[in-house]
């Protein structure tokens, strides 16, 4: 059944309920069913708390009700903390009572075998049929810091609520999300909301992202995900967040490639499932990070950045009180692709005026002079921040804020510099103390605990800017159309349909006799390649079915005979349609272009370096199909081998536009025929000198193995 794509519906009641029923409320505040009541009371939730417990009149000082039906009002939100089958019954009672939203904290569903999975399907049916939104099951629930609305039994709230701030956490895993919440509380920018979606029978992270995009308390969204259950919902949610100007950072777990063994084409073998996520996130404006620490740090950094932005390739100046740290910062900046600002003469003069022994050229080494005279720090900051070309000022604070003698002077200098240069971005490398970090973040000064994290973080902010401007759609939507799978079985078939789709192939002739082969070779004049044509033989060279560099009629006739003998020997059962005679076109760069079908995101187009090096260097770019011409050009530019296409080492510049057009055409073909086509290889696509086009020399289309496409479900 198709899911409702009305993203975020009913999440007002989940995040901002005026009343919360706790079903399975326990009198013992340490128990799963007792803890939400305890936490709601402890942290001062202002709405009504309605415990449901058939065995008690009172729970933790509150009037308890025997059943959902007995509740004196319809609660906005029901927390369901009774196990397995009982949870299902409670959900049904809530739906009947007209409760708009429920959080099923209980485990015992799809994570526990087929019986649990059946139970989860029932839960989903309750949600679908009643319109009640259901978060979970098997989830850690929610925390809304501004309203103190707690829909969780998490021990993370035992001692204190997280500090309030503008960062929302949207996680599938409860444990990972709540560690992120804890970390952000410590010296971070603070939390607006937390949601852990567990098994996602109904409400998913797409709902949560879309809702956070419209939430006044949230300015930055952090996502921890293990999987995506619905591509369209996820990408729409990311588009909504981008349109709302809320940065999204994603930690996607499970980066090791899966399902690759099953791929049948070269493209399938080269395109990693995880790489598709990279492409999807980038296209929809979310910045992917590699660790929980970086996720949390980006939350605080983006919050501190506020309305400012850094450009896609920011100019960075580096300040340290030691040459060693300066070099390390410059190394890290270079490693993360940042441009080191060339310090201007005026700035150099100003620095030398206050710190005569300083090395005033970026990376600026203030020397021990600075810690001896901490009041010089302000003048130094001002000189660097005033430097015209500079966008980001990166400062190594080391233990500076832990030394009482230095702390207040340094904080005041940073504050003054920030006020005097409101558009500049100041970033401090400092690991503590937590209270000083919170002060800096609140003042709009970014902090990172290590040099490497600092430079990686600044480059992530640059990516955010680069992705912000992109068209969310990528390319126009393409309606699917059926393709007769039998009509694309041979190489000649594949070339014919792809040629009709706009991909250039050389003229070639199919022959079925040695004589005809000779005539064809004569007519084409160039050296020719001859290849066996059979739907039953996919790797033609392996069986001796390919002859190259054949010149003239006699040689062609002899080659024909050799090919037929080889086929008869090595593939005696293959049905042979003849031999393809094609001119050998040389002089160009070989790419491989292809498509594959991602189990989540559907057809995907890939381009990579062709030839024997493709698999060794895995120099590939990948995008969900269809792609726009601009996307295709960016795919090509992102290849390491792009320098070769772009005229490196005195080579002529290749026809990059023609290659990009071929990628677009192929991506549109794959999107149009997504229901029938599983994988396509064009290998090689020969990209010739500028103006001479890109010519496909071989093509293979692999249909889906089943008659109705699995991938379309």
Q: Pick the closer one to its own copies by CB: 226 or 408.
A: 226
Q: Which of 451, 593, 621, 625 binds its own copies (CB under 8 A)?
A: 451
Taking CB under 8 A as the criterion, the residue among 15, 325, 426, 505 binding its own copies is: 325
126 or 201: CB nearest its own copies: 201
* By CB under 8 A, residue 292 contacts its own copies: yes
Site for its own copies in 487-546 (CB under 8 A): 542
Q: Which listed range, 56-64, 505-513, 597-605, 639-647, lies at the site for its own copies (CB under 8 A)?
A: 639-647
Spatial separation of the C-alpha atoms in residues 198 and 174, rounded to whole Å = 7
Whole-angstrom distance, CA of residue 354 vs CA of residue 370: 9
Binding flag, residue 649, its own copies (CB under 8 A): yes
State yes or no: residue 689 binds its own copies (CB under 8 A): no
Tell me the site size for its own copies, rule CB under 8 A.
59
Q: 3-class SS at 603?
A: strand
Identify the helix (H) or strand (E) that includes residue 149.
strand 149-151
Distance CA 151, CA 173 (A): 15
DSSP string over 173-242: SHHHHHHHHHHHHTTS--EEEEEE-TT-SS--HHHHHHHHHT-TT-SEEEEEES--S-HHHHHHHHHHHH
Helices (H) and strands (E) in the chain, counts: 24, 30
Residue 617 binding its own copies, by CB under 8 A: yes
- For its own copies, the closer CB: 69 or 368: 368
Q: Identify residues 62-121 at the interface with its own copies (CB under 8 A).
A: 107, 112
Calculate helix-pair angle for 404-420, 434-442, nearest 10 degrees. Answer: 10
Among positions 357, 420, 525, 712, the unique one binding its own copies when judged by CB under 8 A? 357
Eight-class DSSP state of 130: H
Q: Using the rule CB under 8 A, is 334 a contact of its own copies?
A: yes
**551 binds its own copies per the rule CB under 8 A:** no
20 or 225: CB nearest its own copies: 225
| Cis previous bond, 363, omega within 30 | yes
CA distances from 129 to 120, 549, 592 (A): 14, 68, 49
CB 394 within 8 A of CB 454: yes
**Distance of CA 223 to CAs 134, 181, 210, 262, 299, Å?**
20, 12, 12, 30, 10
Distance CA 605, CA 593 (A): 7
Asked if 640 is part of the footprint of its own copies (rule: CB under 8 A), the reply reads yes
The least distance separating its own copies from the CB of residue 330, rounded to whole angstroms, comes to: 7
Q: Mask 152-191, x = binds its own copies (CB under 8 A)?
A: ---xx-x------------xxxxxx--x--x---------
Of residues 156 and 417, the one with the C-beta less far from its own copies? 156
What are the structure tokens assigned to 206, written together? 């797409």
Q: Does residue number 256 form part of the binding site for its own copies (CB under 8 A)?
A: yes
User: Rounded to the nearest whole angstrom, what is the least distance from the CB of residue 398 to its own copies in the complex?
Assistant: 5
327 or 416: whose CB is closer to its own copies? 327
Q: Return the C-alpha torsion angle 105, 109, 111, 112, nearest 10.
A: 130
308 binds its own copies (CB under 8 A): no
132 close to 100: Cβ distance less than 8 angstroms: yes
From residue 194 to residue 233, the character string flagging contacts with its own copies as x (rule: CB under 8 A) and all else as - is ------------------------------x-x-------
Q: Which is nearer to its own copies, 231 or 292 (CB)?
A: 292
Stretch of residues binding its own copies (CB under 8 A), selected from 38-46, 119-127, 395-403, 559-567: 395-403
Q: Which of 94, 222, 287, 321 binds its own copies (CB under 8 A)?
A: 321
Residue 259 in contact with its own copies, rule: CB under 8 A:
no
Can you tell me which of 616, 706, 707, 708 binds its own copies, judged by CB under 8 A?
A: 616
Taking CB under 8 A as the rule, does residue 267 contact its own copies?
A: no
Candidates 584, 644, 692, 711: give the one binding its own copies (CB under 8 A).
644
Where in 478-588 does DSSP place strands (E)? 509-511, 528-533, 546-550, 578-583
Q: Check residue 654 and report its DSSP letter.
A: B
User: Rule CB under 8 A: which of 1-20 touch its own copies?
Assistant: none
Cα end-to-end distance, the chain, whole Å? 9
Whether residue 75 contacts residue 49, with contact meaning beta carbons closer than 8 Å, is answered with no
In the numeric block, which tokens belong to residue 382?
């001002």
Compute the least distance from the CB of residue 331 to its own copies, in Å.
5
User: What is the strand order of the sheet 220-225 is part of?
Assistant: 149-151, 141-144, 191-196, 164-171, 220-225, 248-252, 286-289
Q: How far is the CB of 257 from its own copies (least distance, A)?
A: 9
Does residue 55 interact with its own copies by CB under 8 A?
no
* Minimum CB distance to its own copies smaller for 62 or for 526: 526
Residues 6+ apart with CB under 8 A from 602: 231, 624, 625, 671, 674, 711, 712
648 binds its own copies (CB under 8 A): yes
Lookup: tokens for 564: 């037929």
Q: In the complex with its own copies, which residue's Cβ is closer, 115 or 226? A: 226
User: For its own copies, which residue of 63, 67, 73, 291 counts as binding (CB under 8 A)?
Assistant: 291
- For position 486 contacting its own copies by CB under 8 A, the verdict is no
Pick from 85, 117, 118, 403 the residue near its own copies by CB under 8 A. Answer: 403
- Name the residues that contact its own copies, by CB under 8 A: 107, 112, 155-156, 158, 171-176, 179, 182, 224, 226, 253-256, 290-293, 320-325, 327-328, 330-331, 334-335, 357, 368, 371, 398-399, 403, 450-452, 542, 612-613, 615-617, 619, 640-641, 643-644, 648-651
């Amino acid at each position: 059944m198709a899911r409702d794509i009305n993203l975020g519906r009913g999440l007002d009641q989940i995040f901002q309920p005026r009343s919360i029923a706790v079903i399975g409320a326990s009198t013992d505040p340490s128990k799963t069913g007792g803890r939400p009541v305890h936490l709601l009371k402890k942290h001062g939730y202002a709405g009504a708390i309605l415990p449901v417990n058939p065995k008690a009149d009172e729970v933790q000082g509150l009037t308890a009700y025997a059943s959902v039906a007995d509740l004196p009002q319809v609660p906005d939100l029901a927390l369901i903390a009774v196990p397995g089958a009982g949870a299902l019954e409670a959900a049904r009672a809530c739906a009947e009572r007209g409760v708009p939203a429920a959080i099923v904290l209980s485990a015992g569903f799809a994570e526990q075998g087929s019986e649990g999975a059946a139970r989860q399907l029932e839960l989903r049916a309750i949600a679908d049929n009643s319109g009640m939104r259901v978060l979970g099951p098997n989830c850690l629930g929610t925390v809304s810091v501004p309203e103190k609305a707690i829909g969780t039994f998490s021990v993370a709230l035992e001692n204190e609520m997280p500090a309030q701030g503008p960062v929302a956490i949207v996680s599938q895993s409860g444990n990972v999300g709540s560690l992120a919440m804890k970390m952000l509380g410590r010296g971070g920018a603070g939390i607006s909301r937390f949601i852990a979606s567990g098994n996602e029978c109904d409400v998913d992270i797409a709902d949560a992202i879309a809702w956070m995009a419209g939430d006044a308390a949230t300015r930055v969204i952090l996502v921890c995900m293990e999987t995506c259950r619905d591509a369209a919902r996820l990408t729409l949610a990311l588009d909504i967040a981008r349109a709302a100007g809320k940065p999204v950072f994603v930690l996607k777990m499970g980066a090791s490639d899966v399902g690759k063994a099953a791929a049948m084409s070269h493209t399938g073998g080269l395109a990693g499932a995880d790489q598709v996520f990279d492409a999807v996130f980038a296209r929809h404006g979310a910045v992917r990070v590699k660790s929980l620490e970086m996720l949390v740090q980006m939350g605080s950094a983006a919050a501190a950045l506020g309305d400012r932005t850094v450009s896609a390739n920011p100019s960075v100046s580096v300040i340290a009180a030691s040459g060693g740290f300066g070099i390390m910062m410059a190394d890290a900046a270079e490693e993360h692709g940042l441009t080191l600002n060339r310090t201007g003469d005026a700035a150099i003069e100003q620095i030398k005026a206050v710190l005569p022994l300083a090395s005033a050229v970026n990376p600026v080494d203030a020397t021990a002079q600075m810690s001896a005279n901490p009041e010089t720090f302000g003048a130094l900051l001002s000189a660097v921040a005033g430097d015209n070309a500079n966008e980001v000022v990166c400062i190594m604070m080391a233990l500076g804020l832990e030394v009482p003698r230095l702390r207040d002077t340094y904080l005041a200098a940073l504050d003054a510099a920030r006020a005097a240069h409101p558009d500049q971005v100041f970033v401090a490398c400092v690991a503590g103390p937590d209270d000083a970090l919170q002060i800096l973040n609140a003042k709009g000064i970014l902090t990172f605990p290590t040099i490497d994290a600092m430079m990686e973080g600044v480059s992530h902010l640059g990516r955010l800017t680069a992705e912000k401007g992109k068209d969310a759609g990528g390319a126009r939507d393409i309606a699917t159309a059926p393709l007769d799978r039998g009509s694309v079985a041979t190489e000649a078939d594949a070339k014919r349909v792809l040629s009709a789709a706009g991909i250039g192939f050389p003229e070639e002739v199919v022959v079925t006799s040695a004589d005809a082969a000779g005539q064809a070779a004569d007519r084409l004049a160039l050296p020719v390649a001859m290849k066996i044509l059979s739907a039953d033989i996919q790797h033609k060279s392996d069986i001796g079915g390919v002859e190259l560099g054949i010149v003239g009629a006699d040689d062609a006739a002899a080659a024909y005979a050799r090919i037929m003998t080889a086929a008869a020997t090595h593939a005696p059962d293959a049905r042979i349609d003849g031999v393809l005679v094609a001119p050998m076109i040389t002089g160009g760069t070989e790419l491989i272009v292809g498509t594959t079908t991602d189990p989540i995101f559907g057809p995907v187009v890939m381009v990579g370096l062709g030839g024997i090096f493709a698999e060794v260097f895995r120099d590939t770019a990948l995008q969900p199909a269809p792609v726009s011409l601009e996307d295709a050009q960016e795919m090509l530019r992102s290849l390491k081998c792009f320098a070769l296409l772009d005229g490196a080492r005195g080579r002529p510049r290749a026809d990059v536009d023609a290659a990009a057009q071929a990628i677009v055409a192929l991506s549109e073909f794959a999107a149009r025929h997504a229901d029938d086509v599983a994988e396509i290889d064009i290998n090689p696509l020969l990209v010739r000198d500028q103006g001479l086009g890109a010519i496909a020399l071989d093509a293979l289309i692999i249909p889906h193995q089943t008659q109705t496409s699995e991938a379309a479900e």
